[in-house]
Amino acid sequence: MFIADPQLGKKNTGQAVENWKRGVAGHCDAIRTLINQNRSPSAVHVAWMGDETEGVCNNYGNQPHTVELNLSKQLELDFDLRVWTLKQVAELGLPISASSVISNHGEWSRNGSKEPVTSQGDNASTHIARQVQKLFSETEAFGGSHIDWTIGDGDPAVLVNLSGVDCYFSHGYIEKGKGGSTEIRTKSAIERQILGRTDTLGNVPLWFMAHYHHFYTNEFEGRTLFGMPALEAERSSEYMLNQYGVWSKPGMLGMLVGEHTERRWSDLSVL
């Protein structure tokens, strides 16, 4: 299940929390249905895809005037929801893995600049992931769930192998491509990444990106790209609505990944 762009702390944070919890509960119910149908997944992977919090300044000039939660409250809420998510998944009784990537709203930027204070790897998204990792690592000795983690650092993406399938997870704000639409530019960015990193990315069949706040998919040359829907409150990205007249219904993407189909994925749903 993919948790993308809730941007906790911006207007209507309560709706974003509801969207997050509804998505997790819905996908856990879907997994229970698969188990009852004797189609149980071998494990559950929770992918945090970035922009879990809105931030309070420097990323965008209007942030100090529009946020509902200060930075401490945003980070605390993100931590609480990640812990809650993994507890819900643990009740399924399946092995668990998790990943987290850096994101633009996770950057702590310099005053008067969008450049990070230290590095892009010094990022709220992966910082909170590491705190959650520490918590579950400590509780494992007392009977808590074991979780296999892949947490990004300076690179824009992480590679995770799920049931024999290499998957590329990235927020999608660093990789740049050319084209007349979000989908075409992202496809172009992927092709550039493959050319630059053929040894590590040449055989990766599944690519998952967030950042653009709507669900889309694009299949090309034996690969499939999935763009994440956002969990933020509906129509809360005013600049998108006011400038371009576009918005997308919030939701959480989930699917089965593995060698059980030729395309290596199935049972896709947005909840």
Confirm if 75 and 130 have CB atoms less than 8 A apart. Answer: no
In the block, tokens 């950042």 appear at 211
Q: pTM of the full predicted structure?
A: 0.93
The rounded Cα 135 to chain-centroid distance in angstroms is 20
**pLDDT value at position 110?**
66
Q: At what angle do helices 71-90 and 124-140 cross, to 10 degrees?
A: 40
The single-letter code of the amino acid at 61 is G
**pLDDT value at position 226?**
96
Confirm if 158 and 169 have CB atoms less than 8 A apart. Answer: yes
C-alpha 74/C-alpha 8 separation (Å) is 6
Confirm if 28 and 92 have CB atoms less than 8 A apart. Answer: yes
Residues contacting 193, CB < 8 A, separation 6+? 175, 201
Mean pLDDT per block of 10 residues along the chain (271 residues) reads: 96 96 98 97 98 84 79 97 98 98 88 72 95 96 94 94 97 88 86 86 95 92 94 79 76 97 97 97
**pLDDT value at position 111?**
65
**pLDDT value at position 118?**
77
